[in-house]
């Protein structure tokens, strides 16, 4: 018998001083049975870091669908504007994504993230529109501790650092860009 996804609801209050975006959003996430709280919360953070109020950024089927990213922004014609990956995707997947989307953003996390980038970066060095970022392991673990089935989170971003706070605690994550602009 297949396990079903677990539904999480989040009320996000975003104050992104780097982009000048301030807004509140009610978000529903489906957590795949094989997904950890850490990965799900990084998907939620990625949403907060890229939401701009246009209503076009959305979660996809993620782990359930291999041809889709974790998040994407599609314009009104269906063209993919932003492709957002969480984790350590292989070079082939990133190159394919760069061919399909105007901008591809990767949020790498975990203790193997630096080694992953050392392996993948030569293969994707010429990829158009790729932005790779790394999140500190201590910060992502603190972020995962904030996961609840129903949560209210405040996300403040300034100088490439995200502070996420909720009723059960807080997390600070410095988003470090791996490849040059």
Which CATH number is 67's domain given?
3.10.640.10
Q: Average of pLDDT values for 1-10?
A: 81
Stated as kind and residue range, the H or E segment containing 80 is: strand 80-86
Does residue 142 fall inside a structural domain?
A: yes
For the chain, percent of residues with pLDDT exceeding 90:
83
Confidence check: pLDDT of 65 > 80: no
* pLDDT band at residue 67 using 50, 70 and 90 as cut-offs: confident
Does residue 1 fall inside a structural domain?
A: no
**Structure tokens, 127:** 């990829």
Does residue 3 fall inside a structural domain?
A: no
Range of the domain at 61: 8-177
pLDDT, tens only, 75-89: 999 999 999 999 999
Does residue 134 fall inside a structural domain?
A: yes
Does residue 140 fall inside a structural domain?
A: yes
Does residue 28 fall inside a structural domain?
A: yes
Does residue 78 fall inside a structural domain?
A: yes
pLDDT, tens only, 17-49: 999 999 999 999 999 888 999 999 999 999 999
The total number of structural domains in the chain stands at: 1
Residue 62, pLDDT score: 63
Measured CA to CA, the distance from residue 41 to residue 147 in angstroms comes to 7
pTM, rounded to two decimals: 0.93
Measured CA to CA, the distance from residue 74 to residue 109 in angstroms comes to 25
Residue 61, pLDDT score: 75
* pLDDT band at residue 8 using 50, 70 and 90 as cut-offs: very high
Confidence check: pLDDT of 134 > 50: yes
């Amino acid at each position: 018998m297949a396990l079903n996804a677990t539904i999480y609801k989040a009320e996000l209050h975003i104050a992104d001083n780097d982009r000048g975006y301030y807004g509140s959003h009610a978000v529903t996430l489906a957590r795949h049975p094989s997904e950890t709280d850490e990965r799900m919360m990084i998907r939620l953070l990625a949403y907060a870091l890229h939401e701009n109020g246009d209503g076009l950024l959305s979660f996809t089927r993620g782990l359930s669908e291999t041809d889709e990213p974790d998040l994407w922004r599609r314009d009104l014609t269906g063209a993919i504007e932003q492709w957002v990956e969480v984790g350590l995707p292989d070079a082939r997947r990133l190159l394919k994504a760069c061919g399909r989307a105007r901008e591809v953003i990767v949020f790498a996390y975990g203790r193997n993230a630096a080694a992953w980038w050392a392996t993948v970066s030569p293969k994707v060095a010429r990829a158009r529109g790729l932005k790779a970022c790394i999140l500190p392991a201590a910060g992502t673990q603190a972020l995962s501790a904030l996961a609840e089935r129903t949560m209210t989170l405040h996300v403040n971003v300034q100088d490439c650092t995200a502070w996420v706070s909720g009723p059960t605690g807080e997390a600070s994550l410095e988003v470090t860009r791996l490849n040059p602009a």
